[in-house]
Amino acid sequence: MTVHPITIMGEPVLHRRARPVEAFDDELRALIADLFETMDTANGVGLAAPQIGVGLRIFVYGMENDDDVPPRGVLVNPTLVTSKVPGSDPDPEEEAEGCLSVPGEAFPLKRAEWTRVTGFDGDGSPVEFEATGWFARCMQHEYDHLDGRLYVDRLNAKYTRRARKAMKNNGWGIPGLTWMPGVDPDPFGH
């Protein structure tokens, strides 16, 4: 297992739709192991392959939940169906979201409270479950990475302005920027 550098917004792989996984083989199992190792070292609750520079439709998660879903898992070629996203403003205390590819920043974002997730595990066996609350938020966040979207792309106008200012102040938005979990300081202070 290898810890990989995490790409920072501006890296092209983060901003384009990932390709479907076609082979469930040892190479895929090695990628899954690396994703888990990188996520754990970064103190994350989810990590998508594009975040380590691999443009494939796969993500891992590690999050306790109230939905009787194993707290650690992998989703290959997933699909999501969600409930409606409320139209109200996000609560800055209760709905702030962060991302390892937008290191050290957090902005409030409304997400659907429920989602149905389908896909495959690392061996190609079907996976299907429902997620609620923060677990549903995690599934939506990681799935967005597979479609070339970051959570900051979904912010309302007020928080978009703040996010753009943070991106400019951090010098992000250009290719080639990464941070290394376990080497660089933890951007979220874990």
pLDDT, tens digit, for every residue of 23-42?
A: 999 999 999 999 999 999 99
User: Is 145 annotated as a binding-site member?
Assistant: yes
Residue 126 sits at the vertex; the CA angle it makes with 125 and 132, to the nearest 5 degrees, is 135
Over residues 154-174, the mean pLDDT reads 96
6-179 in CATH: which number?
Answer: 3.90.45.10
Q: Is 11 designated active site? A: no
pLDDT of 98 over the 90 cut: yes
Place of tokens 């902005």: 107
Q: What is the DSSP letter of 4?
A: -
Residue for token pair 């439709």: 57
- Of 149, 43, 144, residue with least CA distance to 103: 43
Bridge partners of 99, per DSSP, are 102
pTM flag (> 0.85): yes
Is 99 known as a binding-site position? Answer: yes
Cα–Cα dist 170/165, whole Å:
9
For residue 144 the two structure tokens come to 């967005």
Residue 15, annotated ligand binder? no
